[in-house]
Amino acid sequence: MGLPDRCNQQKPKRARINYVAAHFFFIMKSDDPFGGFNFLIEIDGIVSGGFTDCSGLQMECEILEYPEGGQNEYLRSFIGPVRHTPIVLKHGITSSDGLWNWHKEIIKEGLTRGFLRRNMTIYLLDSTSRPRKAWNIMRAFPYKWSGPEFRADASDVAFESVELNHQGLEQISL
């Protein structure tokens, strides 16, 4: 005795391909990556524009390894302290001496006065110049300043850069 006809019938296929294609198009259309060239930096609430480079948004957990007695196949790994890389800011030299003066204050006064450390926010902007992501940098201070390189045979812009040590960063969505 054979199976009833309804068991041998194939179920109609849904229009899943169209749904997936539409979903993929929607994601690609609405969630394009932001350009790394469109950013601004705020130091202690004051927008400090004109930076050409900003690098060092990185943190890394130290890995502590612990050998377990009798276990020779692997080491146990644990998360240790977090290390933050310095933030490096670079821009063309203008008549403004803000970064130079901040670094000079650190050299003169040391870190004995608390106001020499400053909080910063780095904003990543979308194509319409609206902030979309931000990183808060806590208690930063400059420890290295680099001036321009002068060459008589070049017509490059004179750049200065400053490296900032800090006590943490956090990413926030806007």
Bigger pLDDT: 71 vs 168: 168
Could you tell me the pLDDT band of residue 61, with boundaries at 50, 70 and 90? very high
Mean pLDDT of 130-157: 90
Could you tell me the pLDDT band of residue 64, with boundaries at 50, 70 and 90? very high
| 117/123 Cα distance (integer angstroms) | 20
Q: Say if residues 83 and 59 touch (Cβ distance below 8 Å).
A: yes
Least reliable range by pLDDT among 80-84, 118-122, 135-139, 150-154: 150-154
Bigger pLDDT: 121 vs 27: 121
Mean pLDDT of 123-133: 89
26 has pLDDT over 70:
no
What is the pTM for the complete model shown? 0.71
Cα 33 to its chain centre, rounded Å, is 14
- Write down the pLDDT at residue 111: 63
92 has pLDDT over 90:
no
Q: Which residues pair with 54 in a beta bridge?
A: 89
Q: Say if residues 81 and 121 touch (Cβ distance below 8 Å).
A: no
Mean pLDDT of 9-28: 51
- Write down the pLDDT at residue 84: 94
Domains and CATH numbers, the chain: 32-173 (2.30.110)
- Write down the pLDDT at residue 5: 54
73 has pLDDT over 60:
yes
